[in-house]
Amino acid sequence: MSAQFPVARPRRLRRTSALRRMVAETRLAPADLVLPMFVKEGIADPQPVASMPGVFQHTRDSLRKAAHEAAEAGVGGIILFGIPAVKDGTGSAADDPDGIVQRTLRDLASDLGDSTVIMTDLCLDEYTDHGHCGVLTGAGEIDNDATLERYASIALAQAEAGAAVLGPSGMMDGQVGAIRAALDGAGHSDVAILAYSVKYASAYYGPFRDAAECAPQFGDRASHQQDPANAGESLREVLLDLDEGADMVMVKPAGAYLDIVRRVRDAVDVPVAAYQVSGEYAMIEAAAEKGWIDRERTIMESLLSIRRAGADIALTYWATEAARLLRRA
């Protein structure tokens, strides 16, 4: 062994922060981040979500303010979830032109202009009294094709109120095609679809069901959301959605499914999003609160990892804070 050994020294490029920055293979920017936001009808003040410290069910006014802050921090977009005052069997508040999301969309369209992308989650679970993502048959099962008609109608209500991108998240077969046809038939061919193509039946959604008040009153979502055991099925879902007219595709959750993000990234040439869900948020916040991890470093590492796995866009409840940290760095 010569005195020179080792000749190859990867550590040379890790020596200073300037070197590390120059050779970084993955970059995270505010525009890569999308902020999910909750707006609740009929409340006077924003309500904190207990299992998601720092996240609120907003009033229309407090949402406007928070959306403005997000846009100012440079986030790529925001995605709205609505919690109506009254729920019923068919989720009629979801496509009411005066429903909470539609009103909020109209507020935001005038406030935000082109400073960030305004998106909506398109599903029924926040609007139905039974908490399922669709309408039910007499036997209490989700009626896939009747649900598609509801989704088409919600798509029109959201598009008419000013949403630029719709995110169907109910995992009904044919949902992207039904929404695309409805939009195109009503002169909304410019409204884009971010399909929740790959959505697992995940325990990581727990805190969200508090935030959106949408826990199913009976049963679960395993008949339509994917089995965490499956990977190949995800590619089939993605290809079907692209065939039906999806403009972008999403994988959800993110952190426990980074292998799926990579497989999807390698298979398609449309933008890929990944949703860092409520449970991922809650775990990091809880561990940080106990002083067991460095909160900011863990947040930024989790987001960088989503980008490194191949996602162009990360949906994260930390979007505004992370965008500010990135601007400071």
Q: Which residues are catalytic?
A: 199, 252
Among residues 91 and 310, whose Cβ is nearest to ligand PBG? 91
- Shortest Å distance, C-beta 1 to ligand PBG: 54
Give the Cα separation of 221 and 82 in Å (integer).
20
Give the Cα separation of 14 and 17 in Å (integer).
7
- Shortest Å distance, C-beta 133 to ligand PBG: 6
Residue 53 CB coordination number (10 Å) = 14
Q: Find the part of the chain contacting ligand PBG (CB under 6 A) among 26-34, 120-128, 231-239, 265-273.
A: 120-128
Coil, strand, or helix at residue 73?
helix
Of positions 123, 142, 182, 264, contacts ligand PBG by CB under 6 A = 123
Q: Find the part of the chain contacting ligand PBG (CB under 6 A) among 15-23, 121-129, 181-189, 260-268.
A: 121-129
Q: Is 57 in the site for ligand PBG (CB under 6 A)?
A: no
Footprint of ligand PBG on residues 141-200 (CB under 6 A)? Answer: 169
Q: Which residues contact 257 (CB under 8 A, 6 or more apart)?
A: 198, 200, 251, 274
Give the Cα separation of 13 and 18 in Å (integer).
9
Q: Is 121 in the site for ligand PBG (CB under 6 A)?
A: yes
Give the Cα separation of 120 and 288 in Å (integer).
30
Give the Cα separation of 252 and 240 in Å (integer).
17
- Shortest Å distance, C-beta 278 to ligand PBG: 3
Q: Is 251 in the site for ligand PBG (CB under 6 A)?
A: no
How is residue 138 written in tokens? Answer: 């007499």
Q: Is the peptide bond before 253 cis (omega within 30 degrees of 0)?
A: yes
Q: Is 277 in the site for ligand PBG (CB under 6 A)?
A: yes
Of positions 56, 151, 200, 208, contacts ligand PBG by CB under 6 A = 208
Q: Is 78 in the site for ligand PBG (CB under 6 A)?
A: no
Among residues 188 and 224, whose Cβ is nearest to ligand PBG? 224
How is residue 135 written in tokens? Answer: 């309408």
Coil, strand, or helix at residue 182?
helix
191 contacts 164 by C-beta, under 8 angstroms: yes
Among residues 61 and 141, whose Cβ is nearest to ligand PBG? 141
Of positions 41, 125, 241, 321, contacts ligand PBG by CB under 6 A = 125
Give residues in contact with ligand PBG (CB under 6 A). 121, 123, 125, 169, 205, 208, 221, 277-278
